Amino acid sequence: MTNYMDKSQQSILEKDAVDSESLSEKQWRASLWKFLLFSAFGIALFIIPFQWDGKVTILLGVLTDTLQALLGGYVVYVVMALVTTSCIGALAVKVLKPNLREGSLVKNLFDVNWFWLVTRILGMAFVWMIFLQVGPEFIISRNTGGVIFEDLIPILIPLFFFAILLLPFLTDFGLMEFLGTLSSKLFVKLFNLPGRSAVDAMSSWFGAASIGLLVTMQQYDKSYYSQREAAIIATTFSVTSIAFTYVVAKTIGVDNNFVYFYLTIALTGFIAAIIMPRIPPLSSKPDTYHSGKSMLDEETPAHYTTYQWAVNRAVTRAQSMPRLGQVFKSSTKNLFDIYFGLIPVVFAIGTIGLGLAEYTPVFNWLATPLVPLLEWLQIPEATKAAPAMIMGFADMYLPALVGKSIESEMTRFIVGAASITQIIYMSEVGALILKSNIKLNILELFGIFMLRTLISLVVITSVAHLLY
């Protein structure tokens, strides 16, 4: 994702924040209320779950569902316009080579390398083929391109609209400084991560995987995370929401055991989060920063308690923020980058991945080494379970769709729980990581996916044998 920051924001990041002790009492109170109110709004939007219309969701989910309902069938035309504009704009820049000003919106949106240009061309081709139902079944089938076109994209368009525009309330008005300072020692000790990553974990867990990932991408672009830290957080804490976890449990037929299902996922995710940062490829990533130097300081001065310093840093951050109009202007640029940059990638990579799962034996071949392990773990119907687990790399929902035909409830429980804890799936999270500035390639993502799968299997299977 392109890093958009206006000059005032850049200057904030390039120098230490103003010490809150230098603020007048009036400025302190105003900045304190700014931190409290805007951060509370961010928490209400992205983190606090509640019951709505018969399901557990968050305020962002309600806004997303409302906009999705308003758009209705028109979202198809919005998607086609975005993907087509993205491709034609990138082609025009590549062929005509106009003299674009460095940092301009047009340059940032359309001046891409050949790999991303080909991806945009494929994305546009797939969109029109699926819409017109012209082309190979591999692309236009309801179970391949249809899943992206009819199930995933109509959710992502309104989700990204609200998430990108409103994300600063969660990340930029002091909440990350406050929670980061309070939880710094815990997160460093457990996960080798800065404390502010606690916000990423919460926004993923209660909101959606893509939301936590967007937080991570933004924090990396602003040099609050190093490359290693961003890679760990993106592939370790981008957990799907409680709501979607229930959808998976219901689809695969273990919703009658949902409490144990969810607790197993939480335990597995926690153990994997401790192990993964300590082994390659994540442990070997360099601690270098996007801007060349770290903007993070979570050390507590000797004359402050941890809580006092947390409040101090939060108030300082809130005081340094520009007006809301400037914040929304920057967020709007990020929104365009996501729409023009990510949506074609989701179509290209997601459709190909689902096509391979549906029409080729590729995932069966990849799953062959897993079968002896599953049999050793005494998992019933191991030959059916193995491909379902590997398919999670294409899309998180595929294992549930394939696994629901497995007779053994214990095996369905294991397959469903593993699909949630694997985290990386190319139809959304994987595509978003590849499009970001976080330097992880597709082979590394698959390697991380397999490591998480192996760790998850050991933990989930141990619990499943106790339950069944």
Per-residue pLDDT of 65-87, as tens digits, reads: 899 899 998 999 999 999 999 99
- Cα-based angle 434, 435, 439 (whole degrees, multiple of 5): 50
Per-residue pLDDT of 7-35, as tens digits, reads: 434 433 333 344 555 667 888 889 999 99
Is the whole-model pTM more than 0.85?
A: no
Q: Do 275 and 452 form a contact (C-beta atoms < 8 A)?
A: no
Q: Rounded to whole angstroms, how far apart are CA atoms 7 and 13?
A: 10
Q: Rounded to whole angstroms, how far apart are CA atoms 370 and 376?
A: 10
Q: Do 59 and 48 form a contact (C-beta atoms < 8 A)?
A: yes
Quote the tokens at residue 293.
Answer: 């130097």
Question: Is residue 207 predicted with pLDDT exceeding 80?
Answer: no
Question: Is residue 412 predicted with pLDDT exceeding 50?
Answer: yes
Q: Which residues of 263-298 are buried (b: 16+ CB within 10 A; e: fewer)?
A: ebbebbbeebbeebbeeebbeebeeebbeeebbbeb
Whether omega for the bond prior to residue 281 falls within 30 degrees of 0, making it cis, is yes
Question: Is residue 144 predicted with pLDDT exceeding 50?
Answer: yes
Q: Rounded to whole angstroms, how far apart are CA atoms 273 and 267?
A: 10
Question: Is residue 2 predicted with pLDDT exceeding 50?
Answer: no
Rounded to an integer, the average pLDDT of 284-298 is 86
Q: Per mean pLDDT, which of 314-318, 328-332, 378-382 is the most reliable?
A: 378-382
Per-residue pLDDT of 321-337, as tens digits, reads: 888 988 898 889 888 98
Q: Rounded to whole angstroms, how far apart are CA atoms 203 and 208?
A: 7
Provide the mean pLDDT of the chain: 85
Per-residue pLDDT of 426-460, as tens digits, reads: 877 888 898 888 989 999 999 999 999 999 999 99
